[in-house]
Amino acid sequence: MRMQSIKFFLLALAVSAFTVSCKKSSAKGDISRATGWTINDKDGGFQYNTSYTEQEAAPGLVFVEGGTFTMGKVQDDVMHDWNNTPNQQHVQSFYMDETEVTNLMYLEYLDWIKRMYPPSEENYKNIYVGALPDTLVWRSPLGFNENMTNNYLRHPSYAEYPVVGVNWLQAVEFSKWRTDRVNEAKLVNEGYLSEDVMNPSEEEEGGKSVGFSTQTYLNTPDQTYGGAIDTLQGRRQGRNDSVPVFAKKESGALLPEYRLPTEAEWEYAAIALNGLREYNNIRGRKKYPWSGEYTRTGQKSTRGDQLANFKQGKGDYGGIAGWSDDRADITNQVKSYPPNDFGLYDMAGNVAEWVADIYRPIVDDQANDFNYFRGNVYNKNQIGEDGKVVVTTDANIQYDTLPTGQIIATTLPGEIAKEEVGIEQTYLRTNYTKADNRNYRDGDPASTRYYSQFADTEDADDTEAAKFEMYNSPKGKVTSDNEGELARLYDKSNNRTTLIDNNARVYKGGSWKDRAYWLDPAQRRYYPEYLSTNYIGFRCAMSRVGAKSTNGGKKTRN
């Protein structure tokens, strides 16, 4: 009995010593397997979030696990053209908006801009005006649509309807704004920033004059909020309570950027082949985002109901009154139809959607079959004479005048100015050799049969060489006189052979104005990035960092 007591005492002593040792170890921090030095020591040194698990789904997004799929038309290709020839692609895991961006979501964006950069101030006027959707897209020379023109964007009846009248460039700027607002809120929740930052206001009221920028915060945090970040610190404290604490990439507190999905991502997410998966094989093919060959549901309780919002036939946008086939004539409220197997709504019908890609008739799978994307223009942060990044101020807001004459802001106060990469970044590289890769292997001089005739013809519209350009679409020109009045000039050249250029962006999915033929996720069309319509909207995506799967690699099997 005494021997058992001694053994119990020794065991308890060992457990106690182990616990104390663990406490001391955790108090000091983790030990590096590379150097044996302490990581996350409270007294300083290398700091890293070693307890990070995995990326969380950002507001509005659902997880789409990546994989391989056949991109392009796999059946009913009645046109037999090369526009969407089938090719095998692999897409990495990513996140995607559960629904299309709605009027309510976009109005929140407009409200923020209006409060942060009042359009009544001349220096800010074009920021707000340039972000406004074109509500006149509803007008038709032979249609009575003024009700939508006047009400669709702002009336509460349409709050959860997809926003339209937004061009591709505006959709990109919305995505940038959304990134910064979400990361700003995360930093508040993590204690890096004070809750005072959540409501933008004048400097004398809110303590800041410019908005939060994720990239500025990461690269030069002391210039965030126009240098007023010291007064907006959160509850986290430094080692001696006098050193401000900033989140870094290593902190794991910031999310990747919201952006438009690539064409490959959008098509992969829309077709949702995971619903037909058996082990590592796909059982059959899919024509629509849902299973089956028809646009109507076969379920007993809802048999005959349409599974998407689209044009039924000539003069038929929704069926007979009282028994509507798809319960809509124009767009419909998001989530009005069942989601696909990834949990995404309206990946066919309602509105077509902008994607990130530049349009070309072919997808060059010989050049790349992994995360395919055409449209890369690589840039870098501008560095000033003082060796620091250049942060935009009220005095140097960057604007872009579109071919239509519309002016939009591309770099707002508080954001880092960008420029294309140069020879310093491309010299002796084997993976890319220039900043602008939009024409890579398709449309640039070297890819035409007349490559030897080409010199620098970028601005030479009437030269002999320009006649042989592969993509020589009409070019709209907007000039201004001495008084600042815009003159819109039309391209009257007879040598133009195509409407495709580096401003033509792909849009995917059928819309409320399209026949069922366009509901196939493989369908692809293009439209100028600076124009908008009443049938094209958009949704955002976000890259996945870390593991491909969200469940630690454990696979569920059907």
Q: What is the 3-state secondary structure (H, E, C) of 302-332?
A: CCCCECCCCCCECCECCEECCEECCCCCCCC
State whether 309 and 162 are in the same domain.
yes
> Helix, strand or coil for residue 491?
coil
Among positive and negative, which fits the CA dihedral 524, 525, 530, 535?
Answer: negative
Write down the pLDDT at residue 417.
95
Q: What angle do CA 409, 412, 414 make, to 5 degrees?
A: 175
Per-residue pLDDT of the chain (558 residues; tens, 9 = 90+): 555 565 555 555 555 554 544 444 444 568 999 999 999 887 778 889 998 989 999 999 999 999 999 999 887 777 777 788 899 999 999 999 999 999 999 999 999 999 999 999 988 999 999 999 999 999 999 999 999 999 999 999 999 999 999 999 999 999 999 999 999 999 999 999 988 887 755 444 433 468 899 999 999 999 999 888 888 888 876 555 566 789 999 999 999 999 999 999 999 999 998 766 656 666 667 788 988 788 888 777 677 788 899 999 999 998 888 777 888 999 999 999 999 999 999 999 999 999 999 999 989 999 999 999 999 999 999 999 999 999 999 988 999 988 888 899 999 999 999 999 999 999 999 999 999 999 998 877 666 666 554 444 444 445 555 556 678 788 877 777 666 677 787 888 887 888 899 999 999 999 999 999 999 999 999 999 999 999 999 999 999 999 999 875 555 444
> Helix, strand or coil for residue 248?
coil
State whether 229 and 341 are in the same domain.
no
Long-range contacts of 273-279 (CB under 8 A, 24+ apart): 273/67, 273/69, 274/65, 274/67, 274/341, 274/342, 275/340, 275/341, 277/558, 278/558, 279/557, 279/558
CA separation for the pair 523, 517 (Å, rounded): 9
CA separation for the pair 98, 96 (Å, rounded): 6
Count the neighbouring beta carbons within 10 Å of the beta carbon of residue 258. 27
State whether 385 and 348 are in the same domain.
no
State whether 284 and 344 are in the same domain.
yes
Asked which of 400, 419, 437 is the last residue of a domain, the reply is 437
State whether 209 and 301 are in the same domain.
no
Write down the pLDDT at residue 287.
85
State whether 167 and 309 are in the same domain.
yes
The reply to whether 28 falls in a domain is no
State whether 72 and 121 are in the same domain.
yes
CA separation for the pair 143, 134 (Å, rounded): 17
Write down the pLDDT at residue 238.
58
Write down the pLDDT at residue 200.
57
The reply to whether 387 falls in a domain is yes
Give me the amino acid identity at 337: Y
The reply to whether 44 falls in a domain is no
Write down the pLDDT at residue 324.
73
Residue 309's nearest CA partner among 354, 273, 345 is: 345
For residue 192, what is the DSSP state?
S
CA separation for the pair 463, 233 (Å, rounded): 59
What is the extent of the structural domain holding 457? 439-501
Please report which residue ranges of 146-289 form alpha helices under DSSP H. Answer: 146-151, 168-189, 203-206, 214-219, 263-271
The reply to whether 50 falls in a domain is no
Please state the separation of Cα 247 from the chain's center in Å. Answer: 23
The reply to whether 38 falls in a domain is no
Give the dihedral of Cα atoms 39, 40, 46, 51; nearest 10 deg.
80
Asked which of 396, 416, 437 is the last residue of a domain, the reply is 437
Entry pTM: 0.89
The reply to whether 22 falls in a domain is no
Write down the pLDDT at residue 352.
98
State whether 283 and 348 are in the same domain.
yes
State whether 87 and 230 are in the same domain.
no
> Helix, strand or coil for residue 352?
strand
Write down the pLDDT at residue 207.
39
State whether 75 and 167 are in the same domain.
yes
Asked which of 418, 437, 456 is the last residue of a domain, the reply is 437
Write down the pLDDT at residue 414.
94
CA separation for the pair 327, 311 (Å, rounded): 12
Q: What CATH number should be reported for the domain holding residue 132? A: 3.90.1580.10
State whether 367 and 245 are in the same domain.
no
The total number of structural domains that make up the chain: 3
The reply to whether 93 falls in a domain is yes
The reply to whether 36 falls in a domain is no
**Type and span of the H or E element at 190:** none
State whether 415 and 380 are in the same domain.
yes
Q: State how far the alpha carbon of 463 is from the alpha carbons of 83, 406, 453, 475, 503, in Å.
A: 30, 29, 11, 15, 22
Write down the pLDDT at residue 23.
43
CA separation for the pair 137, 411 (Å, rounded): 26
